[in-house]
Structure 1
Amino acid sequence: MGKSMVGFCGGYDMYISGKPYEIQAFFEAIKQLALTTPNDMDWSLVLDRLYMRYVRFEDIDKTKQIMDYCKINLTKEEDEESTNVFLMYFRHFFSSVSSAISLYETFGQYRPIKISVVDLPWYIIEEKRPLEEYDQLDGEPLWLREYTEEEVERLSNL
């Protein structure tokens, strides 16, 4: 059962960002930047937590700082989304952050910032997945995996 679109989610919002391989290429560019940048940033917040799991509430500020750094280094001021799709991904990420913080401040509820399948009905099914399953992930992120019938059944019944 295939997934066709994934995107950044957080708080009230979800953004259709692109095909899984496109988001993967975005993170590959971030990984290359991390490998060539001598600094003291905790890259695992982006290359593990955001890419594969979700951003913990207490890590939002540090994750934003790293993504700001990535945006400065992976885009140019004169770029537009039509010529550099990374701008859209950064916009979706920062909008998800704002939405997650707003929801938390308004209702005391944190709906984590993450990358998820955004196609319906998969998004609805994925929203039922407990965060513990993200924390225990090995291998590739859930948004890159195919759903099995058993998994769809299990998540549908949560």
Structure 2
Amino acid sequence: MILRVDNASYSYGGKENVFEDISFFLKKGETLCILGPNGIGKSTLLKCLGNVLKLSEGSVFIEGKDISSMSRTEIAQKIGYVPQSDQSVFPFSVLDFVMLGRAPHLPFFSSPGEKDLTIAENAINKVGISHLRDRPVTEVSGGERQLALIARALAQEPEILLLDEPTYRL
């Protein structure tokens, strides 16, 4: 089992639960799609699965390890997250933006190597934006930026991909 969620609940500021008592598990290679109306807590659940938000109750386990006991680096090596949208203001090239996905695999204060560059370029090619490689990510269309976000998550080489409305703007 790669991901297990036990009795998960979350509320903003201790108010009414956004979701409550959710339990499920996923085996390696399985896909789960969470559907529901706007405002029901789908994005909040994904943020809790990545430990961006802390559950009010319950637990999330990755490969049997409680996510609350894992470091940010450990989590980032296991989970790639593609948000609904991105507000990047720094004009990284698309390649540099995708290379950020390699950060969890690098020692502190080290630079990416040839292997990291190859992984990032493969991710860019996989989503079909190699022609944007040197363009500032702040100057591409919304759909192209969404593809760059997906490429960044793929370059991370995670065990689990959390995709929050990945086809938004595509």
**Does TM, scored on the shorter chain, surpass 0.5?**
no
Higher strand proportion (structure 1 or 2): 2
Q: Rg bigger for which structure? A: 2
Structure with bigger RCO (C-alpha 8 Å, 6+ apart): 1
Higher helix proportion (structure 1 or 2): 1
Q: TM-score, normalising length from structure 2?
A: 0.27
